[in-house]
């Protein structure tokens, strides 16, 4: 039986705030200690360190933020969506309340997902480190201007790219920005990183799938610098000449699965169909 649960939800979204409160009340009735916090606020360290399960209320963005907060303890995460199908939010509200007893009784398995770690190795931001569940992106600073990025893998130079950016994605992130840029889809339990250039000109325009032990180095060769973005949520400005080293993190994101996961590719097809239908209905 679980003793302590942390509920994270986005701030300012009334349905998410209401649902988080309902979940907290249901959990408290079973004698479990509950903390409820805004995912973008300053979450008290003691809540993170003592939680045995993190329940994320919202969409995939909430889960991405929670996964970074859970490092290095790798607290299992259970995502509860608000009605919109997501890759990282496995339950809707009705399914959660129908299975709350199983959740509190730990009747779930843990699935580990690879995370990507980045360290700025040269430049003004040298020494800063980041970790992401989906991807870490090096992109141009100014619209309409490309960025020059030199790519090396395991200290071997691969190419100098004139591009809009470079994506280093995990298997989880391979269905996101990397996919839209032409990258391959990897099953979420794989251990490989994918490097995908965005709108590369006169260079290797295809993605590279790396060995699990490989290290990627991205060096900014544009005088105006570039922007480093983690999971589409955190940005760092890099000066010209800066370098970033990226590799598979020693920390994993852990997800609580109540049942054996359905076919990943079947779920992928379902989500893409929903997104296409939504775009058509909106006239896009």
Q: Whole-angstrom distance between the N-terminal and C-terminal Cα of the chain?
A: 48
| Secondary structure (H, E, C), the chain | CCCEEEEEECCCCHHHHHHHHHHHHHHHCCCCEEEEEECCCCCCHHHHHHCCEEEEECCHHHHHHHHHHHCCCCCCEEEECCCCCCCCCCECHHHHHHCHHHHHCCCCEEEEEEEEEEEEEECCCCCCEEEECCEEEEEECCCCCCEEEEEEECCEEEEEEEECEEEEECCHHHHCHHHHCCCCCCCCCCCCCEEEEECCECCCCCCEECCCCCEEEEEECCCCCEEEEECCCEEEEECCCCEEEEEEEEEEEEEEECCCCCCHHHHHHHHHHHHHHHHHHCCC
- 155 catalytic per annotation: no
Q: What count of other Cβ atoms lies within 10 Å of the Cβ of residue 201? A: 11
| Annotated catalytic residue within 46, 60, 155, 259 | 60
- Give yes or no for a contact between 171 and 114, defined as CB atoms under 8 angstroms apart: yes
Q: Which residues contact 131 (CB under 8 A, 6 or more apart)?
A: 68, 71, 115, 116, 117, 118, 230, 249, 251
Largest Cα separation within the chain, whole Å, is 62
Residues annotated as catalytic are 60
């Amino acid at each position: 039986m679980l003793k302590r649960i942390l509920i994270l939800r986005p701030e300012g979204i009334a349905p998410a705030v209401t649902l988080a409160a309902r979940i907290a009340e249901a959990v408290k009735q079973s004698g479990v200690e509950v903390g409820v916090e805004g995912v973008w606020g300053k979450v008290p360290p003691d809540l993170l360190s003592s939680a045995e399960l993190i329940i994320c209320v919202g969409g995939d963005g909430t889960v991405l933020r929670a996964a970074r907060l859970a490092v290095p303890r790798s607290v299992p995460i259970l995502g509860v969506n608000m009605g919109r199908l997501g890759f990282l939010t496995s339950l809707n509200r009705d399914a959660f309340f129908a299975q709350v007893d199983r959740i509190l009784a730990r009747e779930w398995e843990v699935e580990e997902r690879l995370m990507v770690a980045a360290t700025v190795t040269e430049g003004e931001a040298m020494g800063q480190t980041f970790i992401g569940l989906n991807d870490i992106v090096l992109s141009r600073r100014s619209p309409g201007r490309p960025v020059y990025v030199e790519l090396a893998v395991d200290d071997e130079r691969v190419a100098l790219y004139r591009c809009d950016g470079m994506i280093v994605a995990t298997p989880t992130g391979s269905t996101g920005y990397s996919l839209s840029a032409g990258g391959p889809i990897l099953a979420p339990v794989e251990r490989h990183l994918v490097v995908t250039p965005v709108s590369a000109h006169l260079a290797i325009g295809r993605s590279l799938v790396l060995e699990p032990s490989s290290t990627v180095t991205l060096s900014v060769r544009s005088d105006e610098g570039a922007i480093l973005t983690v999971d589409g949520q955190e940005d760092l400005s890099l000066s010209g000449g800066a370098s970033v080293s990226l590799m598979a993190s020693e920390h994993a994101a852990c997800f609580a699965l109540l049942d054996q996961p359905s076919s990943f590719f079947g779920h992928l097809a379902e989500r893409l169909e929903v997104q296409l239908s939504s775009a058509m209905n909106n006239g896009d």
